[in-house]
C-alpha cells in the first residue's frame, strides 16, 4: 500500500528535510520514526521538495510504502501522536503505486517573508527574515522579478553545491506584495534548484532597496554566473506552501495565500 501525507513543520531546530547521520535532527528522520511506530515496520519517505535547514513548510507532501493495513485517520492522528509538536500531518490519502511525491509533482510554490519594520518582533525571529534597510519597494521587486518568469537557465541563482544536472527551470508565477511591515515574495515553478528561491529573494531585496537597477535580473540570467549575484538570503522566512499534482491523484492543495498569512498571524 502506498500512502501520501500532507506535512507542516517549523524548520527552526531541524537540519533540513533530508535524513542525515544519527543524532542530527531532520524532518525525514522524525517522520520515518513516527510512521514506523504506527506501521510497526521500518518505512522510507519520499518528499516533494527537500527543504534546507531552518526552512518551514505549510504543505509539504510525502509518500511511503507499507504492508500495514491502517485506516487513513491512523496515518494522521497516530503519526501526529508520535511527532514533535513542531511537525504535524495535515491529511492522508491512499495513492496508486505509480504515484511519487517528487516525480509526480508538476509545480512547487514557496513564500518568502521579509520583515521591514524598524523594530524587530521577538516572536518572529525564526519565522520571518528581517531586512534592516526597512524601505524595500515591493512594486519594484515585482517588476524586476517578471524577467525571471518562464523557462531560463538559472545558473546565477543556484548554489555552488547544487547537484542538479541542468540549471534550466520554469518559473510559472512570481509576485511581490506588502502587508503591513511584511513584504511577501510568492513564487511557483515546475521545480527549484538548490537555494534558488533564497538567491532570487536576495537579488530582489537588493533591487527593492535601490542598491541595484531593475534590469539586474535580466543581466544575471545572461551572465549565468552565481558569483555576480547577491548573497543567499537567510532561510528564516521561507515556506514551502503548496505542491500541485495532476488532477487524477485528487490530492489537497495548500491554503490560499490570505488564509495562510492569517495562520501565520500576518
Give the residue-averaged pLDDT of 27-38. 97
Question: CA neighbours within 13 Å on the CB side: how many for 208?
Answer: 27
The yes-or-no answer on residue 206 being catalytic is no
Say whether pLDDT at 160 is over 70.
yes
pLDDT at position 257, please?
Answer: 67
123, 126, 127, 128: CA torsion to nearest 10: 100
Q: What count of other Cβ atoms lies within 10 Å of the Cβ of residue 93?
A: 18
Give the residue-averaged pLDDT of 58-83. 97
Composition of the chain by helix, strand, coil, percent to 5: 30, 25, 45
Say whether pLDDT at 259 is over 70.
no
Nearest to 195 by CA among 157, 165, 167, 226: 157
- Which domains are present in the chain? 2-104 (3.30.70.580), 107-240 (3.30.70.660)
The residue with cell 547537484 is 163
How does 194-216 read in b/e, with b if 16+ C-beta sit within 10 Å? bbbbbbbbbbbbbbbbeebebeb
pLDDT at position 51, please?
Answer: 95
Say whether pLDDT at 262 is over 90.
no
Give Cα 146 to chain centroid, integer Å: 20
pLDDT at position 266, please?
Answer: 60
Annotated catalytic residue within 10, 52, 98, 181:
52
Mean pLDDT taken over the chain = 93
pLDDT at position 143, please?
Answer: 98
pLDDT at position 264, please?
Answer: 60
How does 119-154 read in b/e, with b if 16+ C-beta sit within 10 Å? eeeeebeebbbbbeeeebbbebbbbbbebbbeebeb
Please give the DSSP secondary-structure letter assigned to residue 89: E
Amino acid at each position: 500500500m502506498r500512502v501520501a501525507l500532507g506535512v507542516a513543520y517549523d524548520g527552526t531546530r531541524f537540519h533540513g528535510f533530508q535524513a542525515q547521520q544519527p543524532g542530527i535532527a531532520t524532518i525525514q528522520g522524525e517522520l520515518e520514526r513516527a510512521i514506523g511506530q504506527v506501521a510497526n515496520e521500518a518505512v522510507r519517505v519520499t518528499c516533494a521538495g527537500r527543504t534546507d535547514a531552518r526552512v518551514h513548510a505549510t504543505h509539504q507532501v510525502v509518500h511511503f510504502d507499507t504492508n500495514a493495513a491502517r485506516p487513513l485517520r491512523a496515518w494522521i492522528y497516530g503519526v501526529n501522536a508520535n511527532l514533535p509538536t513542531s511537525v504535524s500531518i495535515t491529511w492522508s490519502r491512499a495513492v496508486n503505486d505509480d504515484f511519487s511525491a517528487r516525480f509526480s509533482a508538476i509545480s512547487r510554490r514557496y513564500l518568502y517573508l521579509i520583515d521591514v519594520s524598524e523594530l524587530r518582533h521577538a516572536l518572529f525571529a525564526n519565522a520571518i527574515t528581517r531586512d534592516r534597510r526597512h524601505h524595500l519597494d515591493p512594486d519594484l521587486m515585482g517588476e524586476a522579478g517578471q524577467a525571471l518568469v518562464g523557462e531560463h537557465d538559472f545558473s546565477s541563482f543556484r548554489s555552488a553545491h547544487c547537484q542538479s544536472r541542468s540549471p534550466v527551470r520554469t518559473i510559472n508565477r512570481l509576485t511581490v506584495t506588502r502587508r503591513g511591515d511584511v513584504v511577501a515574495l510568492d513564487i511557483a515553478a515546475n521545480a527549484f534548484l538548490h537555494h534558488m528561491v533564497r538567491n532570487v529573494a536576495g537579488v530582489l531585496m537588493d533591487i527593492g532597496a535601490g542598491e541595484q537597477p531593475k534590469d539586474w535580473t535580466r543581466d544575471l540570467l545572461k551572465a549565468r554566473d552565481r558569483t555576480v549575484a547577491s548573497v543567499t538570503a537567510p532561510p528564516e522566512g521561507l515556506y514551502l506552501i503548496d505542491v500541485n499534482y495532476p488532477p487524477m491523484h485528487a490530492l489537497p492543495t495548500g491554503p490560499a495565500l490570505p488564509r495562510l498569512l492569517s495562520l501565520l498571524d500576518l
